[in-house]
């Protein structure tokens, strides 16, 4: 079932859950609960913006993993999209054609009902789209255990995904397959934030003040002005949610290399013991991850020529009409 060539996949993301869980994973247990009020008050505060940036979610990594199972029929993300924190992901989500389902919380700290709405939509979709073969549930709450069990009883192959350390063991056990967000290709915990520099010892004060020139005074004023300005919004990972045909021409090759590497890593991780993959299967997976990808846009006559040009990460083996590729360690 997991390797069916005509598999049709539906993806459901409890977006608030994955964002909060990854924030706690990066900054420590219950970090989001401690910072929740500050995030709500001013997400552009320099310190908060930096913490949000370090804990940013790569939506592309999740969608690409789901695409490795088959054709994506629908992808839905559930959250309060009026929240400034969630709005930061708009470009990534729109770039991957994710359907944004709006949830309005009853109160600032109340449950937003994502689990109920997500479960209702999932069951409805399974009856409305009988050709669905795979269901991917991106969440970590044990509330989704009955949903996973119901999907299995209805004959679907259920894949769960959550952040390590924040996912209920019962949810992982209820799925046919479970993957931690931390282990997806291109995902890693960011380095710890550098410690604040120790304060410099103040120089002995002089009896007479040192006069400042006009240029020095102007420079100090600019520095003070910059310090008061809010930090920029966290950047999305490089081209993870930007369609291939919208990437600047000068960056196309780098984006294509990244797409190929992710496809090879997913293929290697999902395969049995075979390291070699058929080039046609790799290209099909890349096209599922980004339908606008084309090796001809990069100036190559065939996909095999494109892969050969990436000899730093890929190795090609040709035998008659069969062409295989594997990821270089």
The pLDDT > 90 percentage for the chain reads 31
Give residue-wise pLDDT tens across range 141-160: 889 999 999 999 999 999 99
pLDDT at residue 211 in the model: 45
Structure confidence at residue 245 (pLDDT): 58
Contacts of 141 (CB under 8 A, 6+ apart): 14, 17, 115, 168, 171
Residue 209 has what pLDDT? 43
Domains recognised in the chain with CATH numbers: 8-183 (3.40.50.1010), 244-327 (3.30.420.610)
Q: What residues contact 192, with CB distance under 8 A and at least 6 apart?
A: none
Cβ pair 220, 273 in contact under 8 A: no
- Cβ neighbour number for residue 281 with a 10 Å cutoff: 15
Determine the pLDDT at residue 196: 44
Predicted TM-score of the model (pTM): 0.70
| Nearest of 245, 289, 238 to residue 263 by alpha carbon | 289
> What does the DSSP 8-state code read for residue 137?
E
> So what's the pLDDT on residue 273?
53
The DSSP secondary-structure symbol of 197 reads P
pLDDT for 77 equals 94
The segments of the chain whose pLDDT lies below 70 read 1-5, 105-113, 192-250, 271-274
């Amino acid at each position: 079932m997991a390797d069916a060539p005509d598999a049709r996949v539906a993806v459901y993301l409890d977006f608030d859950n994955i964002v909060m869980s990854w924030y706690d994973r990066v900054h420590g247990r219950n970090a989001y609960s401690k910072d929740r009020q500050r995030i709500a008050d001013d997400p552009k505060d320099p310190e908060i913006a930096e913490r949000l940036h370090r804990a940013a979610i790569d939506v592309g990594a999740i969608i690409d993993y789901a695409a490795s199972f088959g054709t994506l029929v629908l992808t839905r993300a559930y959250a309060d999209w009026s929240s400034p924190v969630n709005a930061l992901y708009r470009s990534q989500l729109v770039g991957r054609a994710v359907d944004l389902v709006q949830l309005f919380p009853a109160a600032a700290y109340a449950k937003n009902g994502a689990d109920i709405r997500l479960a209702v939509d999932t069951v409805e979709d399974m009856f409305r789209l009988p050709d669905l073969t795979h269901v991917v549930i991106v969440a970590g709450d044990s509330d989704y255990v009955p949903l996973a069990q119901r999907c299995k009883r209805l004959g679907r192959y259920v894949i769960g995904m959550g952040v390590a350390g924040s996912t209920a063991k019962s949810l992982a056990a209820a799925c046919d397959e479970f993957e931690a967000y931390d282990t997806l290709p291109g995902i890693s915990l960011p380095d710890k934030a550098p410690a604040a520099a120790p304060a410099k010892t103040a120089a002995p004060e002089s009896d007479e003040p040192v006069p400042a020139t006009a240029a020095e005074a102007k420079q100090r004023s600019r520095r003070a002005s910059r310090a008061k300005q809010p930090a920029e919004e966290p950047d999305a990972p490089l081209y993870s949610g930007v369609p291939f045909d919208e990437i600047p021409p000068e960056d196309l090759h780098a984006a294509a290399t990244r797409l190929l590497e992710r496809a090879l890593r997913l293929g290697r991780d999902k395969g049995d013991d075979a390291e070699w993959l058929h080039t046609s299967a790799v290209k099909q997976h890349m096209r599922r991850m980004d339908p606008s990808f084309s090796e001809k846009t990069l100036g190559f006559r065939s996909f095999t020529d494109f892969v050969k040009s990436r000899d730093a990460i890929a190795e090609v083996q040709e035998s008659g009409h069969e062409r295989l590729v594997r990821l270089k360690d």
